[in-house]
Chains A and B, each alone.
Chain A
């Protein structure tokens, strides 16, 4: 091979490697979904995952949403003043939180908190032969480890997004009424009247998709981790990176699907 073709060969190898990984992740995601609907089921594992992904994520989701909503109200107010549109704070906070910031920030927080923890736990199980032990105990690792986590994430992340949306709007409400001089009743009425069903549906659908991505990435990278502490560390880091990028990409596609008309 001539040296001039080296960059092309490297590009080809990288492309093939990327496509192979996309294929592997897609097959893994499909298998995860198929194991959710086929017995045996592990309700205890599902409830644990529900608690871990949902309940224990509430503080970080709530704080993130609150401060984002509050900052958003200040930004819209100061930006709106430039063209005398400061009165639209309640409407823009509501639409901004529900359509975009609520789902994306909750998705990213879940990627940081849940994807990393799933990847580290599953990777450690792999490194310490616990996954091999599951197999020898006649238990399918995808059914026992992946399916309950993925199902729990699909169900509970939309709820977290809904809660995040409400807390974010409340953050805007507190800043709007305490600092910017909005009347409390009018603020809430404007918020409620401005939101449409499609806004809320898109928010919850995004939550389900982001939850699916976060859990699948954690499980996939955990199950395919390398050896030793370095392998666990790499699996954890890669899972969070992949989940965050995929969540943002999926957000663009879903926003296009719901609103680009």
Chain B
């Protein structure tokens, strides 16, 4: 279980997170929604330790994440980045098997390649993609490779940062379905940040709405449409009228 308590993070005078409280139970898929610039990515990076929060605590299974052994902590995570963040200088299979070729999870090259090809198959890519380089792939294929890399070491917790940004609606649907299938199949705890409502409806067990640096509303995805929260209602409907300012 991931638990955030009163987490604050600012950049100069701008307070991005202003007391976030959020619990992500083990095995559940939590989707954090919110407008652009509301601190969704910052929240995710604070959990992973890519940024340090200014105050507040983040715990994983009761352990303060700032006190844990970093390698063991990170080995429990997989992450799909917004732009894929694939390494340009490595081939597709080497990207997918990156963790399996180095460090504590290292295994023989042939075995790592086999696992990479199997993971590529799992995300709907054929083995002939394995020896291509990221620059030779379309945006949708890069997302799939990023997804294959995120699940390659079978992590307990997977983070998805804007998984459908820049994709057409059909490819977005494919990626959403894949994420849902993989999370269920692996029994992983998942946290997704997005402002794509179609992703939310497919991926989420629970939804948290982030606004003005705080969690404005949280609840089951089925309750989202009738939440009664004006922020959630405005966000879902995409209306310019409501408590969320259209010009930020």
* A68 to B37 CA separation, bound complex (whole angstroms): 55
Task: Indicate if the CB atoms of A128 and B104 lie closer than 8 Å.
Answer: no
User: Is A130 part of the binding interface, using a Cβ–Cβ cutoff of 8 Å?
Assistant: yes
Query: Which of B83, B87, B103 meets A138, CB within 8 Å?
Result: B103
Output the least CB separation between B68 and chain A (Å): 13
Task: Indicate if the CB atoms of B81 and A137 lie closer than 8 Å.
Answer: no
Output the least CB separation between B48 and chain A (Å): 6
Q: B86 to chain A: which residues have CB within 8 Å?
A: 130, 133
Query: Which of B70, B85, B102, B103 meets A133, CB within 8 Å?
Result: B85
* A40 to B74 CA separation, bound complex (whole angstroms): 16
| Smallest Cβ-Cβ distance to A144: which chain B residue | B102
* A130 to B77 CA separation, bound complex (whole angstroms): 16
| Smallest Cβ-Cβ distance to A132: which chain B residue | B50
| Smallest Cβ-Cβ distance to B155: which chain A residue | A136
User: Is B33 part of the binding interface, using a Cβ–Cβ cutoff of 8 Å?
Assistant: no
Q: A42 to chain B: which residues have CB within 8 Å?
A: 102
Q: A138 to chain B: which residues have CB within 8 Å?
A: 70-71, 74-75, 99, 103-105
Q: Looking at chain B, what size class is its interface with the partner chain?
A: 20 to 34
Task: Indicate if the CB atoms of B102 and A132 lie closer than 8 Å.
Answer: no
* A255 to B85 CA separation, bound complex (whole angstroms): 45
Q: B99 to chain A: which residues have CB within 8 Å?
A: 137-138
* A42 to B106 CA separation, bound complex (whole angstroms): 13
- Among A139-188, those with CB < 8 Å from B are 139
Query: Which of B49, B50, B82, B102 meets A139, CB within 8 Å?
Result: B102
Q: A139 to chain B: which residues have CB within 8 Å?
A: 98, 102-103
Q: Looking at chain A, what size class is its interface with the partner chain?
A: 10 to 19
| Smallest Cβ-Cβ distance to A48: which chain B residue | B89
What per-residue 1/0 map shows which CB atoms of A107-148 lie under 8 Å from chain B? 000000000000000000100111011011111000000000
A128-B85, A129-B83, A129-B85 are contacts. A136–B102 as well, Cβ < 8 Å? no
- Among A27-48, those with CB < 8 Å from B are 40, 42, 48
User: Is B26 part of the binding interface, using a Cβ–Cβ cutoff of 8 Å?
Assistant: no
* A10 to B44 CA separation, bound complex (whole angstroms): 38
| Smallest Cβ-Cβ distance to B70: which chain A residue | A138
Output the least CB separation between B201 and chain A (Å): 26
Q: B78 to chain A: which residues have CB within 8 Å?
A: 136
What per-residue 1/0 map shows which CB atoms of B128-142 lie under 8 Å from chain A? 000000000000000
| Smallest Cβ-Cβ distance to B81: which chain A residue | A129
User: Is B232 part of the binding interface, using a Cβ–Cβ cutoff of 8 Å?
Assistant: no
* A130 to B83 CA separation, bound complex (whole angstroms): 9
Q: A137 to chain B: which residues have CB within 8 Å?
A: 74, 98-99, 149
User: Is B180 part of the binding interface, using a Cβ–Cβ cutoff of 8 Å?
Assistant: no
Q: B70 to chain A: which residues have CB within 8 Å?
A: 138
A40-B103, A130-B85, A130-B87 are contacts. A136–B71 as well, Cβ < 8 Å? no
Task: Indicate if the CB atoms of B104 and A136 lie closer than 8 Å.
Answer: no
* A130 to B134 CA separation, bound complex (whole angstroms): 12
Task: Indicate if the CB atoms of B87 and A40 lie closer than 8 Å.
Answer: no
User: Is B122 part of the binding interface, using a Cβ–Cβ cutoff of 8 Å?
Assistant: no
Q: B105 to chain A: which residues have CB within 8 Å?
A: 138
| Smallest Cβ-Cβ distance to A130: which chain B residue | B85
| Smallest Cβ-Cβ distance to B159: which chain A residue | A136
Task: Indicate if the CB atoms of B48 and A129 lie closer than 8 Å.
Answer: no
* A139 to B105 CA separation, bound complex (whole angstroms): 12
| Smallest Cβ-Cβ distance to B74: which chain A residue | A138
| Smallest Cβ-Cβ distance to A42: which chain B residue | B102
* A48 to B48 CA separation, bound complex (whole angstroms): 30
Query: Which of A40, A48, A130, A135 meets B102, CB within 8 Å?
Result: A40
| Smallest Cβ-Cβ distance to B75: which chain A residue | A138
User: Is B79 part of the binding interface, using a Cβ–Cβ cutoff of 8 Å?
Assistant: yes
* Known contacts A48-B89, A133-B86, A139-B98, then 7 further A-B pairs from the complex at CB < 8 Å, ordered by chain A residue: A42-B102, A130-B86, A136-B77, A136-B79, A137-B98, A137-B99, A138-B74
Can you name 6 A-B residue pairings with CB atoms under 8 Å? A128-B85, A129-B85, A133-B86, A136-B48, A137-B98, A138-B70
Q: Which residues of A contact B (CB under 8 A)?
A: 40, 42, 48, 125, 128-130, 132-133, 135-139
